[in-house]
Amino acid sequence: MDLYEFINFHLIPGLLLGSIYALGAIGVTLVFGILRFAHLAHGDMLTLGAFLALGVAGLTGLDPWFALPVAMALTAGAALLIDATCYDYLRERPRILTVMASLGVALMVRAVVQMGWGTDPTTYATGIVRPTEYLGWFLLRDRELMTFAAVIVLVAVLEAFLRLTRWGRAMRAMSDNPDLARLCGVDNRQVIRLTWVIVGMLCAAAGFLLGINTEVWAMMGWWALLPIFAAAILGGVGRIDGAVLGGLVIGLAEELSVLVVPAQYKSATAFVILLLVLLFRPRGILKGKVL
Partner 1 sequence: MDALGLLNYALFILILAGIYGLMALGLNVQWGLTGLFNAGIAGFFAIGAYASAILTGPAVAGRVGGFALPVPAGWLAAMALAALLAWPIGRVCLRLRSDYLAIATIGVAEIIRLTIRSEDWLTGGVRGIAGVPRPFGDLPYLTAQLAYLALVLAVVVVAYRMMERQLHSPWGRMMRAIRDNEAAAAAMGKHVERRRLEAFVLGSALMGLAGALFAHLNRSITPDAIDPMIVTFLVWIMLILGGSGNNRGALLGALVIWLIWSLSELATDRLPTEVAIQAKYARMFLIGLALQLVLRFRPDGLLPEARRTRPRTQDHP
Binding stretches for partner 1 (CB under 8 A)? 32, 37-38, 40, 85-86, 89-90, 93-97, 99-101, 103-108, 110-112, 114-115, 225-226, 229, 233, 262, 264-265, 267-268, 270-271, 274-275, 278-279, 282, 290-291
CB of 95 to partner 1, least distance (A): 8
Q: Least separation, in Å, of the C-beta of 37 and partner 1?
A: 6
Residue 95's Cβ-side half-sphere holds a number of Cα atoms within 13 Å equal to 11
Least separation in angstroms between CB 279 and partner 1: 5
DSSP label at residue 281:
-
Q: Residue 139: in which H helix or E strand, if any?
A: strand 138-140
For 261, residues 6+ apart whose C-beta sits below 8 A from its C-beta are 268, 269
Closest by CA position to 207, among listed 263, 256, 150: 150
CB of residue 73 to partner 1, shortest distance in Å:
24
Residue partners of 257: CB distance under 8 A and separation at least 6: 265, 266, 269
Angle between helices 220-235 and 95-117 (to 10 degrees): 150
Beta carbon nearer to partner 1, 156 or 275: 275
The Cα–Cα gap between 162 and 231 comes to 20
Q: How far is the CB of 38 from partner 1 (least distance, A)?
A: 4
Q: Return d(Cα 50, Cα 68) in angstroms, integer.
A: 9
Nearer to partner 1, 115 or 128 (CB): 115
CB of 85 to partner 1, least distance (A): 8
Cα–Cα distance list, 275 to 21, 35, 99, 196, 266 (Å): 18, 23, 19, 28, 16
Closest CA to 113 of 28, 208, 49: 49
CA–CA separation, 16 and 145 (whole Å): 9
Q: To the nearest whole angstrom, how small is the minimum distance from the Cβ of residue 158 to partner 1?
A: 23
